[in-house]
């Protein structure tokens, strides 16, 4: 039904990006010593409800695991993910575990 969503890391833009049907969805990040801070996620309205935001998060979290970085979810969309996905909480930066009440 839905095609595989391809997410690429664009380090120059500091974004994980997915281009679908001519629209670009992205998750912005900043690299900080030992951590990756996700600051903003945007999925165009035309792409809503197709799992693209989740694909961006999964790609970002996999990159954090691969690079041995802790995650600082400033973006509310990323922060909400950790409330629903306890299996990924090991990635949370300690200060964010406290801030999110986890």
What's the pLDDT score for residue 4? 80
Long-range contacts of residues 39-46, Cβ cutoff 8 Å, at least 24 apart: 39/74, 39/75, 40/74, 40/75, 41/75, 41/77, 41/78, 46/21
Confidence (pLDDT) at 3: 60
CA torsion angle 95 102 67 19 (round to 10)? -110
- Model confidence pLDDT, tens digit, residues 86-98: 999 999 998 887 7
Total-model pTM: 0.91
What 8-state DSSP symbol labels residue 1? Answer: -
pLDDT (tens digit, 9 = 90+) per residue, 37-84?
999 999 999 999 999 999 999 999 999 999 999 999 999 999 999 999
């Amino acid at each position: 039904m839905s095609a595989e969503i391809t997410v690429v890391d664009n380090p120059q833009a500091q974004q994980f990006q997915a281009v679908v049907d001519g629209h670009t969805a992205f998750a912005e990040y900043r690299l900080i010593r030992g951590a990756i801070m996700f600051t903003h996620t945007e999925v165009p309205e035309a792409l809503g409800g197709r799992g693209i935001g989740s694909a961006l998060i999964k790609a970002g979290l996999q990159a954090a695991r691969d690079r041995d970085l802790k995650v600082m979810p400033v973006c509310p969309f990323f922060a909400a993910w950790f409330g629903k996905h306890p299996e990924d909480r090991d990635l949370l930066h300690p200060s964010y575990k406290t801030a999110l009440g986890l």
